[in-house]
Amino acid sequence: MSIETIKSRYDFVLVFDVQDGNPNGDPDAGNLPRVDAETGQGIVTDVCLKRKVRNYVQMRCSEAPGFDIFVKEKAILNRKIGDAYQTLGINLEEAPKDEKDGKKRNAKGEGQGSEVGAARRRMCETFFDIRSFGAVMSTGANAGQVRGPVQMTFGRSVDPIVTLEHSITRMAVATEAEAEKQSGDNRTMGRKNTVPYGLYVTHGFISAHLAAQTGFSEADLDLLWEALVSMFEHDRSAARGLMSTRRLIIFKHDGALGNAPAHLLFERVSVKRKDESKPARAFADYAVSIDREALPQGITIIEKP
C-alpha cells in the first residue's frame, strides 16, 4: 500500500487543565494525583495522554480500515500479531516460503527473516497507534519493534498543585455479612482525591523520518490534532472532574530535519498566572502568550482550537 507520509517535522505544546478532579492517579500511592515531590507540581504521564488519544481514535474511526487500535482495553496483543501473519498468508508452522529466510522454521509459530519485516509493515498499515507511537511486537509470532514518529513528554502543572481528600459515603453495602455487622445501617465509607485546579503543559515531537518508516500520513496527522483537541470531551468520569484542552500550539518546520531546536521554540510559549496573590481556580487566571518576534526562517505557528 502506497501512502504519502508527512514531509515536515512538527513540535507542539499542549495546554490542558483539570478542575475538581484527579487527572492521573498513581496506583503506587493509593491513586493520589501524581506530584513532583520536590516542586509540588502535578504530573500527567505521556502514557495517560496517549491512552486518551487511542480511545478517541477508536471511537472516531471504529469502522475505518487502517485505524484500528493495537493497545486497547482487554486486547491480547500476540493474537493480533498472529492475525497479521495469517492475513499475509504466512504459515508459521511450516518452513519459510523464501529460502533466504531459512530452509526450516527455527521456532514453531514465530516469523523469521523477511517475514518479520512484512508483518511489521502490515501492523503499521492496520493500527493507527503503531503508526503514531510505535510498539514492541517481538513477542508471540514476532513482528519486531517500531519506533513511532509521535512522542510526548509528561504533562507538568504550571504551579504547584494542592491535593484534597474527601470522605464519601455509599448508602449500600456489597454483602449480607457487611449488613449484619452494621445492623442494617448499610453504609460504606470511602475517600476521593482531587486537585481543585491545575493547568498542565506537555510537549510533543513528530519526526518525518520515522513517519516514513511507519507510514504516518497527513490524514493521520490531522486525526492526531483532532484527538488532542477533543480527547477530554469523550473521557468524562466523576473521578477526573472537568478536564479540557485549552491550547494546542504547533510549530511546523519546512523540512524533515527541522529549522530550529525544539527547546528554543517551546521557550516562545509563556504560561503565567495573572495574579500571584491568590490561588488559581480557572483558566482565566492564566495568560498564554507566544513570542512571534524574529521567528526562525522556515517555522510556521499553527494554533488549535
In the structure, what pLDDT confidence band is assigned to residue 2 with cuts at 50, 70 and 90?
A: low
pLDDT for 10 equals 98
pTM for the full model? 0.94
Burial class (CB in 10 A: 0-12, 13-18, 19+), 177: exposed
pLDDT in tens, 193-249: 999 999 999 999 999 999 999 999 999 999 999 999 999 999 999 999 999 999 999
pLDDT band at 1 (very low <50, low <70, confident <90, very high): very low
| Alpha-helical regions (H) of the chain | 46-60, 77-88, 114-126, 128-133, 176-181, 208-214, 218-230, 262-266
- Number of other residues whose CB lies within 10 A of the CB of residue 16: 25
The phi, psi pair for 286, rounded to 5°, reads -120, 155
Predicted pLDDT of residue 15: 98
> Rounded to an integer, what distance in angstroms lies between the CA atom of residue 1 and that of residue 82?
20
Identify whether the C-beta of residue 219 lies closer than 8 Å to the C-beta of residue 57. Answer: no
Q: Which pLDDT tens digit goes with each residue over 81-116?
A: 999 999 999 999 999 999 999 999 999 999 999 999
Query: Can you state the percent helix, strand and coil of the chain, rounding each to 5?
Result: 30, 30, 40
What are φ and ψ of residue 35, in 5° steps? Answer: -140, 140
CB atoms within 10 A of CB 299: 18
Counts of helices then strands in the chain (DSSP H, E) = 8, 14
Phi, psi dihedrals of residue 106, rounded to the nearest 5°: -65, -40
Each residue of 46-69: pLDDT tens digit? 999 999 999 999 999 988 999 999
Q: What is the pLDDT of residues 120-175, one digit of tens each?
A: 999 999 999 999 999 999 999 999 999 999 999 999 999 999 999 998 988 898 88
Question: Which residues are CB-neighbours of 22 under 8 A, at least 6 positions away?
Answer: 31, 32, 33, 193, 194, 195, 239, 240, 241
Q: Please state, in angstroms and rounded to a whole number, the distance separating the CA atoms of residues 137 and 114.
A: 15
C-alpha cell at 238: 466523576
Task: State the Cα–Cα distance between residues 267 and 2, nearest whole angstrom.
Answer: 38
Mean pLDDT over 27-48 rounds to: 96
